[in-house]
Amino acid sequence: DADVTQTPRNRITKTGKRIMLECSQTKGHDRMYWYRQDPGLGLQLIYYSFDVKDINKGEISDGYSVSRQAQAKFSLSLESAIPNQTALYFCATSGPYQPQHFGDGTRLSIL
C-alpha cells in the first residue's frame, strides 16, 4: 500500500461545483501539505498543516479550503470550482526537517 494515498486520481467537473480531494497517509507524520502543479510553473503550495490544530495558508490559497480531520487525513476543497483551477494536485507529508513524501496526484479538470 502507498504511504500517501490521494482520491480521486482523476476528476472532471463543471464550473461552480464544490469538489473535495482527499489525502491519507500511513507514515505517522504530523506535517501535511497540498500543492498544485501547472505546466511550466512547477509546484506551488496551497495549504499546509503542522498538526490537527495548526493549519496555514500557502502561496496560492485563494479559492481553496482545507480540513485536517485526523493526523492521517488532510482534505482540500474547492468551494466553487473555476476553469483556472484545472491542474494536477499533490498531497505530501513529512516529519520535521525531513524529505517530503508525495502521493500520486489528482488530475482535476474543470469545464
Partner 1 sequence: KQEVTQIPAALSVPEGENLVLNCSFTDSAIYNLQWFRQDPGKGLTSLLLIQSSQREQTSGRLNASLDKSSGRSTLYIAASQPGDSATYLCAVRPRGYNTDKLIFGTGTRLQVFP
Helices and strands, number each (H, E), in the chain:
0, 11
Q: Is 48 in the site for partner 1 (CB under 8 A)?
A: yes
φ, ψ of residue 96 in degrees (nearest 5): -60, 130
Peptide bond into 8 cis (omega under 30): yes
Amino acid, res. 77: S
Mask of contacts with partner 1, 6-45, x by CB under 8 A? -------------------------x-x------xxxxxx
Measured between alpha carbons, how far is 16 from 71 in angstroms, rounded to an integer? Answer: 30
Q: Cβ 105 to partner 1, closest distance in Å?
A: 5
Judged by beta carbon, residue 19 or residue 36, the one nearer partner 1 is 36
Q: Is 4 in the site for partner 1 (CB under 8 A)?
A: yes
Judged by beta carbon, residue 15 or residue 56, the one nearer partner 1 is 56
Closest CA to 80 of 62, 65, 63, 67: 63
Judged by beta carbon, residue 70 or residue 96, the one nearer partner 1 is 96
Measured between alpha carbons, how far is 62 from 104 in angstroms, rounded to an integer? Answer: 24
Residue position matching grid coordinates 504511504: 3
**Contacting partner 1 within 65-94 (CB under 8 A):** 90, 92, 94
Contacts with partner 1 by CB under 8 A lie at: 4, 31, 33, 40-45, 48, 50, 56, 58, 90, 92, 94, 96-97, 99-105
